[in-house]
Structure 1
Amino acid sequence: MFQLQSDKIGEQEAGIITEALFGISGEAERLEGELDLNFRLTDGAGQSYVLKIHNPAADRDFLEAQNAMIRHLDAQKPDLALPRLVPSLDGSDGGMMCDSEGHERVVRLLTWLAGETWNHVAKKGGLTLYPLGRFMGQLDQALAEFDHPALKRKFLWEMTGAAVHKKHVSMIGDDEIRAIVSDILNDFEGRVSPLLKNCPHQVIHNDANDYNVLMAPDGAVAGLIDFGDAVHSVRIAELAVAGAYGMLGRDDPIAAVLPLVAGFHETNALNDGELEILYALMRVRLAMSVCMAAKQIAENPDNDYLLISQKDVYELLRRLKDVNPHLVHFRLRDACGLEPVPGSRAVRDWLELNGGDCALVCPLIPGKDPLWIFDLDPGQSSTSQSHDPAGWWAQIEREMKLRGAKAAIGRYLEDRSVYTSDNFAADGRERRTVHMGIDIFMPPGTPVFVPLAGKVVHFNDNVEELDYGPVIILEHETDTGAKFWTKYGHLTRDSLPGLALGQRLEKGEAFARIGPFPENGNWPPHLHFQILTHLLDMGTDVFGVAPKSTLDIWESIAPDANLILGISEDCAGRVARADDYLIDKRKRHLSRNLSLSYADPLKIVKGRGQYLYDEAGNEWLDMVNNVCHVGHCHPRVVKAGQEQMAELNTNTRYLHDNIVRYAKRLTATFPDPLNVCFLVNSGSEANDLAIRLARNYTGSREMLIVDHAYHGNLSSLIDISPYKFNGRGGEGCPDQTHICTMPDGYRGAYKYSAPGMAEAYAADAHRHLEKLRVQGRKPAAFIAESILGCGGQVMLPDGYLKDVYAAVRAEGGLCIADEVQVGFGRVGHHMWGFELQGVVPDIVTLGKPIGNGHPMAAVITTPEVANAFVTGMEYFNTFGGNPVSSAIGLAVLDVVRDERLRRNALDVGEQMLVGMQAMAQSFDLVGDVRGVGLFQGMELVRDRGSLEPADREASAVVEEMKKRGILLSTDGPLHNVVKIKPPICFNAGDCDRFLTGLEESLRLVSGRSWS
């Protein structure tokens, strides 16, 4: 043990100690330290180190834990900028010395990290915390498997024990701060602490503060120092600590930490429970800091520095006092690429399917009663019109009369693409400029009806406070238990007295009336109607007009009111977004390696809806063209394409609102974490890219497929399409393709009636996986259509995909759902076919139906899979996602929603299935009828016992149907399945025509000799 002869430990002595214990000589410089002595030592070559001479009372077990933690990180993440231990001359992690008073001290030498403290960089402005978030995410990922008994300690800065600080609250001198801190700690103890059990626990650094984080000139993290607060705790506390410091001194504290959270989540995914309490824990950290300082001030009342150091914390706590915690939670989720309001998608999905069953909110029949849609200029509101609401209403009435309109819809346009001073009030707060509901202008006294049964939860006369006038909010519940709300504004005051909180109102019941000015907020008479998925504890004050910066969150809180109203016109104003917003959303919803720089015999000549027209003007009922998903030449889709085509069509190297808006809208129809899309031009391109993504992610080229599948016409897809490689001209199955038995409950080995049919067919996939395992190989992916198209419109047995997906993932492979034919609401029950099986794939492929025949397609995947694809080789598709295609895609989404086409597919599909099943009882030729929604098949057989395929008969039926003006085709490995997949606007009348024609055709074909 080195014996120090001097009675002090200064810079000279530090140099002596370093040379004696570590064999390194150089100049020492004293550094700040609370308990330990710290020195920077620079040797003759200019290499710097940190010498730490620990307090005699230091816990040596804890110091060893720090050493073990540093060694572990060095082995797991050598690329992270962290201090490394310099071994002593005897090869240990440090040395021992005895000072002149006989006290033994542990001495450690660590590598020096160059950089400027986060605090100093932040003061210069322009600092983004995204790199720090990634760094801390990687750090905690590396620490996930590390543990040490000394780190499971009671420690005042360990956040799960924050309630202990309640005893210090009374020491806080500032009355307002004392009340704020008390509320924070009470909330922690009563609400947050019980939720910690749902969070991952591990060893964390626990002190990424603005002096322990070092930044490089380019904004990267240059280092993280000081492991003295390391502890075993909840993982989310790591991010909460950094977030608390990240908010200090910021004009918009919440916006400042969103990149931090996004970066962490990208490298180390946070779960829903962690995101739910993250903001609360950030405030807890600030409260702990105030309590600790108050305790120290009480013990050292003359230490003015302690009060000064708390100035920024006090200011931040005051700023956060009125911040809505629900909005922060939703912003944090959005930053992570998740649906902001966790239950919003479920509500939207339910309304998408069931909204058509709602009662009329106003005595207005969408699609029948004429409407006048008029635009309001940016910023136009009651404040700019209140001087003459009578004149404004008179103008609206005149225009409605000229157009024969029963009502008018005021569409609010927010045209500003960048923020200007007009966006902000004098106090610096952002103005609310984006209208979130639909305003229906009708005469005063017009009754308002309950669209869905519900109860009254809030009502208020806001005429003296806001410009809504009397407001009522009703609560509703889906059949799955999800709650949502509807808001009604600008009512008559006499709508309120008969209401009571909790009062039950039935669907179609008149409960309010449109108010006259001025009692309606001094507007022309109209109803503000809004759907809400969360009330934010704001009651009737929940916003009907949102601030632009948080519009994505508000679109999740207040989804399109047309989900209930069903007005088949665009009632929402478009909001242009700033460049930085578009860039950010591209990173989230589009692949990051997409760079930016400057930038048959029938001659069909026309289509309309589910009908095609030949050059002679003959009409044909199209029952096979699933590509024109919402109907041929849908005027709304055509208009969208025409208008954008007349303005601009370039490529994705330029910023444009359409591509980001479409990527966001499309990915919002998928369950998390499927929220990144690649936009391409065809289903073949989509499937080819899906295979590349899977092979890149897994490092394997082995593909599991279903027999008779067809996935596209590219060479890569022929290799996984038995329909092609085992067909005429095919070259057979490639070595890296593994064919799983088609789970056909009619013709296969296991029949519909067999118990465990799904497991029996899935066993073949297990067999292939076991074979690969024995060979030391693993699958890249299992790819299957959610309903087998070329296999003969075969419905997968319930539970099949769940079984196979689990088995494939257990072996390291991914699961791909080919939704080119069956997706986008065609199955009726769900938007996507895989949802019939209750699974979430890793990758989903879509084809031209998403553009109603326009050459566009997409691959939807998870951020994890997409990020792994960023290898340095750019993926660029010249025409995928161009502004015209994106505009068309957006219009198709609108049509599916506004025309209730999912519900139509469900209802008409059921009508068709029942009709064909009746024919199966009448014609021996019909072997099987199967399908769902508007994706169905009828398999024809010559003998029901032998199941001899009636292929010629099937073709004859198709020809007979053609004579009746109905277009069909055959499919299946034996070419004996009449396939049915019309545009999903196919209606009940069309179905009656089809069933009549099919019955006639079956009777004629059945009466012929086919020997």
Structure 2
Amino acid sequence: MSHPPRFPSVAEAELTAFLATRFGVRGTLKDLGSQQDRNYRVRTDAGDRVLKIANPATDTAVLGAQDAAVDHLAGVLPDVRLPRARPGADGAAVQWLAADGVELACRLLDFVPGEPIMDSRYLAPRVVARLGELAGRVAAGLAGFERAGLQAAAPDPTRMWDLRNAPAVIEALAPHLSDQALARRILRAARDAYALVEPYADALPTQIVHGDVTDNNVVCETAPDGRPVPVGVIDFGDLGPGWTVAELAVTCTSVLHHHGAGPASVLPAVRAFDGVRPLGDEEVAVLWPLVVLRSAVMVVSGQYDTLLDPDNRYATAALDRERAMFEAAVSVPAQVMTALFRQGLARSAARPGDAGRPLATPASENGRPAGFPTASRLLPALPAEVHVLDLSAGSDDLHTGRWLDPGIERSLAVQALAAGRTAVRTRHGEFRLTRASVAGAGVAETCALGVELYLTEPLEVHAPWAGTVTRTPDGTLTLSTGDGVDLILDGVGVGVGVGAGIGVAVDAEEPPVPVEAGQSLGRVAEDDGVYVLGVQLRALPGARPPRFATPELADGWLSLCPDPGALLGEVSREPLEEGRGGTWSAAAEAELLERRAHFFATVQEHYFEEPPRIERGWRHHLVDTRGRVYLDMLNNVTVLGHGHPALSDAVHRQWRRLNTNSRFHYASVVELSERLARSLPDGLDTVFLVNSGSEAVDLALRLAWATTGRRDVVAVEEAYHGWTYASDAVSTSIADNPGALASRPPWVHTVAAPNSYRGRHRGAEARRYGPEAAERIAELAARGTPPAAFLCEPFYGNAGGMPLPDGYLEQVYAATRAVGGLCLADEVQVGYGRLGTHFWGFEQQGVVPDVVTVAKAMGNGHPLGAVITRREIAEAYRSQGYFFSSAGGSPVSSVVGLAVLDALRDEELQANARDVGGHLKNRLHELAHRHGLIGAVHGSGLYLGVEFVRDRTTLEPATEETAAICERLRELGVIMQPTSDRQCVLKIKPPLCLTRDGADGFVAALDDVLTHGW
């Protein structure tokens, strides 16, 4: 395979003169770089163009074909931006330039506006999908294109980017690599990949393809959320005949070097391509092997280009990207990716014996691979009933963080054996919580690709079918037939009952030993008093599969590692409650989401575009059904953290004793009321117990109305207080209700949001909010509508967690009381030590309200709230009748409230909020110095907000970017959502048990997103 000749050097002045003479264009040039051709952006007064100088080896007829293909696509894809050719002075598109004795073919093309995305920044799934869709549209658009000289039948050996020539290109160029160890790896990978392509090669559809619809040749616009949107295709230099599926393979390969990308990252592109131009089964079978071949060609070609042309900065700069693509492409067996594609496209797998059978999932009959002789049981003496461990996120045995204990799987098995079980087994395909990790943002390998069997005695293991046996130095025993499925066993000892010739390999794998079906292979070996056997099936030639797979690759691995359970005989599988435990299924998860949408009112929205199914929490972590652990930086309701053992125990004890309502007399409701009153300043000594923050605010307003005999209320703009009639009426946040301001009843009056960052008065001028609010209250009284109450969060929560201006509440409370009104402090979000410096938010302002409302943290997620006020105010409610809340003061609710107060005190969570929150805020300020999108960091303790702006001067809110950032944070394992009326503030209100490591993990994830994109 000959490589294109070295490009002759052409001076910029010569190019400028050439453009003026041949194309009548005058302008400035910018070298755009290229691996084979030369491309220059030409800036002119009439607009930009691109001067494209073809490599001397390029046939002129091919250039004409490229221009014709662009014109053809412009007709069938009118919404796609394309580089159409401009005629020269003589009317021809191709003009000739002599350089160093070489005639160079030059064309002037339309400059396609937009930016390529080859800079390795992160590509969101929707962006990857758009790339795949665009590749599919180009392939479909070119399907009917024909051009003389571009026959699609036989590959032209001079076209190095035609993947039909990939093996020859790699074999020719790899020997020239300076790193011969890398060259050998590439050759081995390429040969293995082509072996998977070859059985299908003649059946693959062929047509004219663009050949390079990649991140470098797709131009994008920037969407409002900051993500790139593919809108055009450039550089038709690789146009020619080829396999249609190669168009997709090239696109997928280009995704792999982007930040955070892995093999599964290409799935959105594959689905999108298939939606435009459906893939045949044979095309699905060869797609990933072609990705391997494409990446290998790029590495050897790039390395060779730098040898020929060391000054080619474009080729040199691409080396790391090309190497990254190759490493990602070979990081997982091609068969696994093919199985993953089949699953993702809902295609049936091929059966053993079909062409390319290594890509297939084996069928099974009665626990044996199809086509094998009748299998005997692996352990004939295994008891009929085997206890099945539940190690999933729904397991009742893994509460209070037990899933993090080292050796918990073995401990649970030993516990079951000690309870009288004779055999215990794990489940194949289960996403094990026991394999999850809370350390870092990485995704753990949680999906079990085999099973473990725990026994009380050393049962004898028999070959379930005839074949050959090998034993590796680590003791792994593999029974193979040489075709189809292999059986892999761990924990088979040698000695009594061992088949003849099956010994222990010391330094290397032993030669295969033939065995008959039913022949003894040895006994299950003892492991510290327990006998443990690992069993795995492998429908994949070569190296042993991992024992566990990451969630994103699980479907692919499971297709190649079938369930070996039937080889153990008729296993009694203990039923599990629906939705708990068991093996995870994408179909089941989708069906559950559909049921939610069908029966659950859709205005009760869920977080995230594709919400993970969360079934477990522990401290400041949440866990989904695939064993993915998330850092919970959002849940201000669970102030103690998730799964708190003392709270759980207290509730359990009380439920077994009694749960009724507070009209009955019992100790816990008295004790909780006392504890609440004693946490507040003198005078706030009377407690109402309710079931939510909305009910608490509603009751506080009713108390003010009853006490004053008035109706009017003053509320702060951009605030949220609840969903009941009264609490909703005083909620002015348009984020929660877009019509909030227009739909307020006439008895609600507002004062300006005291937002010192982006409000009417900023910085030092924020001191004006207090006097203006006081003046507003005085004006209402002068008009004959003195307010019954002023309602405000003592720390401005809805805006993103920022303090009120110094003295604000002192001034407004004084004005309210001067006209006979009550001062209501909504502590539903900020109370209970979240600020770190103070237990109650109003303490930070140095005031004492007349009525305090609290909820959320008070019950750690249990429906519990309270209103605390003075005795005379509480007694005034009798004019309205009586008050009663069924759940608010129940025995269980009261015990919950007491347990929360105990934990806050005993675990010093307020001090933790102060210390960890201070550390977190300092780290966030450090980020703000490096990332211009951060306009401000608000808050105190663990009541923080990071506000994103597009411009630090105009403070234009980065609303769409914030939503996209939250989606990306979820992908990195952090739960976060936007807040504020502009939805441009990260709502940072985690459980108060957050650790410094957790805070640092959040900062690292946010830094990753802001650095590498979302």
TM-score, normalised to structure 1's length? 0.47
TM-score, normalised to structure 2's length? 0.47
